[in-house]
Amino acid sequence: MYKINETTINLIKGDITKIKNDAIVNAANNTLLGGGGVDGAIHKAGGPEILEQCKKIGGCPTGEARITVAGKLPSKYVIHTVGPIYRGGENREAELLYNAYYSSLKLAKEYNLKTIAFPSISTGAYGYPIYEASDIAIKSVIEFIKKEGHILEVNFVLFNDKDYKVYEEKLNQKFN
């Protein structure tokens, strides 16, 4: 557990579809119509209600976020954000990844949500190196909290031991 002002940042190893927060974040693709990894798991566990709302939204540009109900998931909402496909780091990937986290938090604030859970965006099929991506994720969250406040709890939910250890190392560097 890490604290910034009134906000707690937690690390959780597990399945984001089982997390009960005001919102969980979906690492979506531009269509918002489901895919593999976290995206596929959220759509499968949440049921058709999420897909129906995503169809009405009509997609999402990289670095932005959209919100839907959570269907059968234990959370109230799903915030869908699109991280960049990693192409070597010279194509605005860091900026777009930062914006994906920041846009998700802005949307949570707009909806007056107090708790949010993030996966490690873009580090699966989109190939973003976990060491770089975790730095960007943590930086974006910390900067949002310092500037905007509002969110009481941010959870980074990592599916495997390797990713969990990377985030733990990075957070310990920032807070110790």
Active site residues: 39
The CA distance from 77 to 46, in Å, is: 10
The CA distance from 118 to 66, in Å, is: 14
Sequence letter at residue 129 = P
- Residue 145 phi/psi, 5-degree rounding, is -60, -45
Tokens representing residue 150 in the block? 């509002």
The CA distance from 135 to 89, in Å, is: 14
Are 2 and 175 contacting, i.e. CB atoms less than 8 angstroms apart?
yes
